[in-house]
Structure 1
Amino acid sequence: MTTHQDAPPECPAHDPSQDARGPGGVMRMHSPVFQSDPAELYRALRREHGPVAPILLDGDIPAWLVLGYREVHYVTTNSELFARDSRRWHAWDRIPSDWPLLPYVFHTPSVLFTEGAEHQRRAGAITDVLSQVDQFELRATAEKVADELVDGFAGSGRAELMADFASQVPLRVMAGLFGLSPDETTALEQDMTDSLDDSPEAIQAYMRIHAAMSRLLERGRENPGPDVASRMLAHPAGLEEEGIIQDMISIIAAGQQPTSNWIGNTLRLMLTDDRFAVTLSGGRRSVGQALNEVLWADTPTQNFIGRWAARDTLLAGRRISKGDCLVLGLAAANTDPEVQPDFSAGSVGNQAHLSFSHGEHRCPVPAPEMAEVIARAAVEVLLDRLPDVMLTVPAAEVHWRPSIWMRGPVALPVDFTSI
């Protein structure tokens, strides 16, 4: 990776304690600055470096953060130049066995890291399996789950919507698709959270998820049914078992945590923004707008690691060396001032965001549709059942999860008229 100038002290991204900056003044992505106000940090990095900024990952491992909308679009479109096979990385000799980000970058025979014909084979199988999910049945299931959850706290007049609702709806819906028992579902929730946070527990949590998916695969082999594992095993692509396990991990991870945060971020917007408060009791008239706006302004997946340069190249004037790691700044790209819609001016239908990535390695086609069905059902049921729901804390006291990868509230405490 090329050298760069130190950040000037007056730069808004400068941390007086210097903890946020590593050797050469490069911003540490795992510093609290990223977690406390990422939007301002993205703006500061864009001012300092342009659309592609040098950063340091955990352990001061160098990488590039792609901030610009056009640059993220270019990287994800050119999968041969900016490839997904992490074995191309030239930094593996510096990565310890307990590195917190290892679950994100360790090469597995899954759809995430395969390329070319093999990737098309795996992605095609996943698309086929997810396409078998009936959208109307999915909506009905999500509504039933949401209603049951509201029933659980409706009589108390108060709730914490992240733990009691937003995290539970997609988890229980996905559990049904995977054939998970209630006990398995409860254990999986915490493991999913730990594995996606920059946490010391990430690797152990990932291993427990792997074990859970292995059990589901064995169950699907012995007693085939309409669950995801059985359908993956029966698919004519003839996928090997370890690859299926890895793909199942990818599917359930993408279906649970991001959808949970999409629900939470949408509820936060609708409960704190006067533009939505006007029609809050009606709910349905503004839920679609809120869901779309959140994908632009507070996308559930902030950053995604990564792409690895297949050869020396230039990106936005930066010299990218063969084997360099690039982190896709999805949140930064969506808030790029050159492309971000002006929602206050009525830009409610623009869905050109990059929240589900882009190109060959974007989310499989049915996945965003399924996530939207679940998220919309959850928000609409809650607002229909509890039309006077209100936050019990000021908007400024709704804190975000300490994650550089995912974006969601820690808690959404609310009051409402008990029913």
Structure 2
Amino acid sequence: MSTPDNFLGKALGELGPFTGLYALDIVDGVIDDFAPAGREDLVLRFARPAPLLVVEGLLGMDERYAAGIGQAVPALLGESRNSERAEENLVRLIRQLVVEKQEGPGPDLVSWMLHYAPDGQHAAVERHIRLLLLQVVAEATRRIGWALHDRLPGPGETRAAADRRGLPVTGHGPVGDRQALARLIADSAVERLLFRLPGMHLSIPAAGVRLAPWGGVDCCPELLPAAFPPVRVPYTGNEEVPWLPAPIFTTVPPRSR
């Protein structure tokens, strides 16, 4: 029987080879929102929202959670003055999610955590959901911010593609812990952005980028204003665009025990 110390690892072990593609699908949606503009702040519009959306999808959240989670998590990571209310809202939404997944498991991390957790360990499941939302999002945001800071040239600068903060983009093996999940999300996001928007550069010198605390993980860039050749994103207008793509990271809901 699993213990509170290993059921998260077992749940993460259910993430299949399509997890990276799922992350890319969400990242593409975030890029689509600002690609036609030709300029954007890559922290506020990319490094922060992309990881949060990916983690929400992996946890099996739907659009009913979008507004609440989208306000609570950034407020807690950014040390908002409303952090107490944000924490209360986050706890309430996590408990609601756990109850829903108990009643109707799906192909998502919460359902698999409930499957592997010992009976009666719902509080431990809720704690791990909170850590996934806060720690993974904070670490992925930090990695994306520093990778773009280090790889994008500022005005009149040239910048090698090497990353000076130890964030190499390599192949990923199994996602065994929160750190590995954060790396997968960050690496996927950075490479997709640079692939889709070539010619991107910072609008200010990299040395002039100010730092801000984010989630207590370390400082990360506060703003990364960037410019790039605008890219037109085709829309047919005939289909309803979902809040998040359908899950493909695990193949089936948990089996009955």
TM, length-normalised to structure 2: 0.77
1:416 equivalent to 2:228? Answer yes
Q: Retained in 2: the 8 A contact 1:171–1:185?
A: no
The equivalent residue for 1:392 is 203
For residue 176 of structure 1, the aligned residue among 44, 50, 57 is 57
The equivalent residue for 1:366 is 177
SS at match of 1:121: coil
For residue 186 of structure 2, the aligned residue among 375, 398, 404 is 375
TM, length-normalised to structure 1: 0.49
The equivalent residue for 2:165 is 294
CA pair 207-410 structure 1, distance change in 2 beyond 3 A: same
Query: Which structure is higher in RCO with an 8 Å CA cutoff and minimum separation 6?
Result: 2
Distance in structure 2 (CA, Å) of the matches to 1:245 and 1:259: 21
Deviations 1:312-345 (A, max 9, x none): xxxxxxxxxxxxxxxxxxxxxxxxxxxxxxxxxx
Q: CA deviation at 1:263?
A: 0.7
SS at match of 1:401: strand
Q: Which has the higher strand share?
A: 1
The equivalent residue for 1:122 is 4
Q: CA deviation at 1:203?
A: 2.2
> Where do 1:184-199 residues align within 5 Å?
184-199=65-80
SS at match of 1:123: coil
Deviations 1:128-152 (A, max 9, x none): 0111111x31110121122222222
Distance in structure 2 (CA, Å) of the matches to 1:271 and 1:243: 41
Distance in structure 1 (CA, Å) of the matches to 2:60 and 2:120: 20
Distance in structure 1 (CA, Å) of the matches to 2:127 and 2:177: 19
Distance in structure 2 (CA, Å) of the matches to 1:278 and 1:402: 25
Distance in structure 2 (CA, Å) of the matches to 1:132 and 1:377: 19
Q: Retained in 1: the 8 A contact 2:76–2:215?
A: no
The equivalent residue for 1:156 is 37
Q: Retained in 1: the 8 A contact 2:135–2:215?
A: no
Q: CA deviation at 1:202?
A: 2.1
Q: Retained in 1: the 8 A contact 2:136–2:178?
A: yes
SS at match of 2:5: helix
One-letter identity of the residue aligned with 1:231? W
What 5-or-longer segments of structure 2 have no aligned partner?
170-174, 232-257
For residue 268 of structure 1, the aligned residue among 149, 161, 183 is 149
Q: Retained in 1: the 8 A contact 2:138–2:214?
A: no
Q: CA deviation at 1:157?
A: 0.8
For residue 132 of structure 1, the aligned residue among 1, 6, 14 is 14
Distance in structure 2 (CA, Å) of the matches to 1:189 and 1:178: 14
Deviations 1:59-79 (A, max 9, x none): xxxxxxxxxxxxxxxxxxxxx
Q: Retained in 1: the 8 A contact 2:154–2:201?
A: no
1:256 equivalent to 2:127? Answer no
CA pair 127-277 structure 1, distance change in 2 beyond 3 A: farther
Higher alpha-carbon Rg: 1
Q: CA deviation at 1:218?
A: 0.9
State the identity %: 25
Q: CA deviation at 1:402?
A: 4.2
Q: CA deviation at 1:414?
A: 0.7
User: What is the root-mean-square deviation of aligned Cα atoms in Å?
Assistant: 2.7
SS at match of 2:7: helix
Deviations 1:228-269 (A, max 9, x none): 222222215325222221221112212212211211111111
> Where do 1:336-375 residues align within 5 Å?
365-375=176-186
SS at match of 2:212: coil
Q: CA deviation at 1:277?
A: 4.3
SS at match of 1:122: coil
